[in-house]
Amino acid sequence: MTSQTGPDPEPTNPVLALLRERRSVRVFTGEHVPDEDLEQILLATRQAPSSINAEGLSLVVVRDPERIRAVAEVAGGQPQVAGADVVVVFVVDFHRTEMAARLHRRQQVVETSAEGVLVGAVDAGIALATFQTAAHSLGYATTAIGGIRNNPAGLIELLDLPRGTFPVVASTLGVADPASLPRVKPRMPMASYAMEERYDPQAVADGARAYDEILRAWWDEQGMAQMPTWSQDTSARYSTYYYPTVAATMRAQGFRFLDGPQDDDAEAR
């Protein structure tokens, strides 16, 4: 299935080449994205699939420069957001589906289940990737912004998001500054990322060790030897609740995890 040795084969068509060249661009020229191009990108995004065709996702497209700066603040003061021409927020939307429930005199419960949270977040990710591929095909640059979960309550207020909705992830959009264009970042070795038939803990362990070296060498090449390795960086973040208000804000928006045992979790705290 995958080449075990030697360099990766070259992409065999232009779409694959576009996907293989994907990188997160954090410095923009400030050039304006024309309405026609944004419409093309959104029409492509809208065709992304949703679970049970529920269409439980909405996009809020922020273009007002002052409001983009406000989103950047919410995301922890990120210049890469403030410098974008457009910021699109991907919103899990069980407010829309609740209208359907009311119409048929049903009581919606999806937002009170772990399953509902999974569905919403997966569909947001699907739409975000589609949005970014569409944007890249037109020559624009993007970065996914998980940092909006730094202060989700602030974003909910800024975007007037009703109960039953939650802003899960965002994407910047703009024209890349060619002077600051990053190189494509290397990835986990394929054998430890895509496994055949079964999960292989040994392959994952080997790949993780190898990746620390691969990324170290790559940073060195960029003259950024001070950057942490993959395992340093990931373990530092993942040993804290690094966006600590997510669960409380979800709760305030009406989300719950009632479909599973939880009361005896208290002792595990």
Select the residue interacting with a copy of itself from 25, 80, 84, 97 (CB under 8 A). Answer: 97
Residue 201 touches a copy of itself, criterion: CB under 8 A: yes
Residues recorded for the chain: 269
Select the residue interacting with a copy of itself from 159, 172, 173, 176 (CB under 8 A). Answer: 159
Positive or negative, the Cα torsion across 17, 20, 26, 27? Answer: negative
Positive or negative, the Cα torsion across 150, 153, 44, 32? Answer: negative
Is 148 in contact with 87 (CB distance < 8 Å)? no
Residue 172 touches a copy of itself, criterion: CB under 8 A: no
Residue 230 touches a copy of itself, criterion: CB under 8 A: yes
The two three-digit tokens of residue 25, written as one number: 């661009």
Round to the nearest angstrom and report the end-to-end CA distance of the chain: 43
Residue 224 touches a copy of itself, criterion: CB under 8 A: no
- Looking at the Cβ atoms of 29 and 245, the one nearer to a copy of itself is 245
The two three-digit tokens of residue 141, written as one number: 């640059």
Residue 51 touches a copy of itself, criterion: CB under 8 A: yes
Residue 12 touches a copy of itself, criterion: CB under 8 A: yes
Residue 217 touches a copy of itself, criterion: CB under 8 A: no
- Shortest CA distance to 74 belongs to which of 18, 2, 151, 146? 151
- Looking at the Cβ atoms of 31 and 39, the one nearer to a copy of itself is 39
Binding mask 68-87 toward a copy of itself (x if CB under 8 A, else -) reads: --------------------
- Looking at the Cβ atoms of 162 and 175, the one nearer to a copy of itself is 162
- Shortest CA distance to 152 belongs to which of 57, 56, 245, 252? 245
The two three-digit tokens of residue 14, written as one number: 């232009």
> Which residues from 115-154 bind a copy of itself, rule CB under 8 A?
115-119, 121-130, 132-134, 137-138, 143-144, 146, 149
